[in-house]
Amino acid sequence: MKDKFYKYIQELQDTITLKIEEIDGKAKFDEDQWKRPEGGGGRTRVIENGNVFEKGGVNISGVHGALPKAMQSYFNVGEVNFFACGLSLVLHPKNPMAPTVHANWRYFEMYNKEGDIVDSWFGGGQDLTPYYLFEEDAVHFHQVCKISCDKHNPEFYPAYKQKCDEYFYNAHREEGRGVGGLFFDYCKTTEEMSMQNWYDFVTEVGNSFLEAYVPIIERRKDLPFTKNQRDWQEIRRGRYVEFNLVHDKGTLFGLKTNGRIESILMSLPPQVQWRYDHHPKPESEEEKLVKVLKKPVEWL
């Protein structure tokens, strides 16, 4: 399964980066192949200063070895070996009318001293972070998510949409990071779902990513915007950074397993503002967004 899924994310990385370059029309992804001293490595691809994308990364990795002490207590296990692989992407458009998008699909195995698999699971999801709220964009993104889920189980979309709203939440700000999408983790073998079934589901969602995001970026990338709207985008990006550094489990896992720091922090936008006690003007488009982030919306 790990070989099959790693092959899948290699191909998906190629598909997504080619499409993003085509949309941008100027910038190309720089590729960095790296090795992890303890075992494994990855392929980091970063795009910067394009016509459409100010910064973005589409990374894959497959790492293995002894599970570090910090993660043993997190998983509540003793000394075990692990393998983890996944694709992680974040795209930050220049235009404040265009939303940031994040996605991640991953697979994890844990082994005993004899090398037998004692646990394995899939995880992942995709979510949208707008700076200005276009409701039809949120509806489209969620519609694609729901279609992918419904092919496998009609209960998946409502469950994983709720998990996404709960996970991508800045508790210290009492607001969501964006308008959500899907989030699922610890997807293991059950009576209803084999690991092959989970593989089929996760790859279904991965394959739907471009369909979910491309129509939105095409609609918004060339809209006019003002200096004030750009400032608002950079202030909201600050909240994005706060989530990734304070709450995100993937960031934590990467840092605690001696991950490659450039790849882990690739998700951070290049231009960000933190203004003291900043509040949008009442009845403004900016306030409209913040009100939606305070309470999750059923977009469908």
Give a three-class secondary structure readout of the chain.
Answer: CHHHHHHHHHHHHHHHHHHHHHHHCCCCCEEEEEECCCCEEEEEEEEECCCCEEEEEEEEEEEEEECCHHHHHHHCCCCCEEEEEEEEEEEEECCCCCCEEEEEEEEEEEECCCCCEEEEEEEEEEEEECCCCCHHHHHHHHHHHHHHHHCCCCCHHHHHHHHHHHHCEECCCCEECCCEEEEEEEECCCCCCCHHHHHHHHHHHHHHHHHHHHHHHHHHCCCCCCHHHHHHHHHHHHHHHHHHHHCCHHHHHHHHCCCCHHHHHHHCCCCCCCCCCCCCCCCCHHHHHHHHHHCCCCCC
Q: Which of 65-79, 105-119, 156-170 has the highest mean pLDDT?
A: 156-170
Average pLDDT, the chain: 95
**Which of the residues are catalytic?**
102
pLDDT digits (tens, 9 = 90+) for 211-225: 999 999 999 999 999
- Domain ranges for the chain, please list them: 2-294
**Mean pLDDT computed over 173-178:** 96
**pLDDT band per the 50, 70, 90 thresholds, residue 120:** very high
- Please give the pLDDT value at position 257: 76
- Please give the pLDDT value at position 264: 86
**Mean pLDDT computed over 124-147:** 98
- Please give the pLDDT value at position 31: 97
**Mean pLDDT computed over 32-48:** 94
**pLDDT band per the 50, 70, 90 thresholds, residue 250:** confident
Domain 2-294 is of which CATH architecture?
Answer: 3-Layer(aba) Sandwich (3.40)
